[in-house]
Amino acid sequence: MKIEVVTLFPKMFVGPFDESIIKRAREKGLVEIVIHDIRKWAKDRHKSVDDRPYGGGVGMILKVEPVYEALKELKSKNSKIILLTPQGKTFNQTLARKLSKFQHLILIAGHYEGYDERIRKHLVDEEISIGDYVLTGGELPAMVLVDAVARLVPKVLVKPEALRHESFNQNQGLDYPQFTRPEKFQGWRVPKVLLSGNHKEIEKWRKKESFKTTKKNRPDLIK
């Protein structure tokens, strides 16, 4: 999979993809991540990519021309173009799985007050938000999306069977509680059933606890 990010602030991406699972995926050639400075496609000598909105208003708007030129150069027939915006559909695990099937993602991470509407209307395939709150730009949402999607690419995880037991997987709700050594700490003990070796009872306990956690913290996930 190839993921390209078009942004006003490419230096913000230095670090997040150079550690842990994503780093290993890149080194193995499973995922290619390329960060582009949108100013590369600006036409004027000042490399301007934003301007004041028509009709007045506060802040600056990302211009349509540099985005159009960027996509003209980067887009292929296999590309999926995504705009990171609070106005988009909320990102979730189902959407992450869907996006992990594409060969090529292009993410547009705007900044400041928003986008020229012609970008949204004519140049992108999908608009995505990572939650009902406002950030200073689309860079952090782009990082979240890349991380969530890249780990779903085949062979990225050393133990892919772990995906089956994660929160939000196939509407199974939140993950069950997990424990490790020591068995007792500060008077807090590991549940006896997990020490029993009875895998049938352990599975039953995990399903019960998963349901309890989901009902308490995310009742909206329970059908």
Q: Report whether 135 belongs to an annotated binding site.
A: yes
Q: Which of 165, 155, 195 is nearest to 179 (CA)?
A: 195
In a domain, 49, yes or no: yes
Q: Write the CATH number for 199.
A: 1.10.1270.20
pLDDT at residue 116, as a whole number:
96
Q: Is 132 annotated as a binding residue?
A: yes
110 annotated binding-site participant: yes
Q: What is the pLDDT of residue 167?
A: 59
Structural Rg of the chain based on CA atoms: 22
Q: Is 134 annotated as a binding residue?
A: yes
Identify whether 158 is part of a domain. no
Given a cut of 70, the residues of the chain with pLDDT beneath it are 160-172
Specify if 13 maps to a domain.
yes
- Domain assignment present for residue 161? The answer is no
Domain that holds residue 208: 167-221
* Residue 59 is assigned to a ligand binding site: no
Q: Is the pTM of this model over 0.85?
A: yes
| pLDDT value, residue 168 | 64
Q: What is the pLDDT of residue 92?
A: 95
Return the pLDDT at 19: 93
Asked if residue 183 and residue 86 are part of one domain, the reply reads no
Structural domain total, the chain: 2
Q: Can you give the length of the chain in residues?
A: 223
User: Do 55 and 98 belong together in one domain?
Assistant: yes
d(CA 133, CA 129): 9
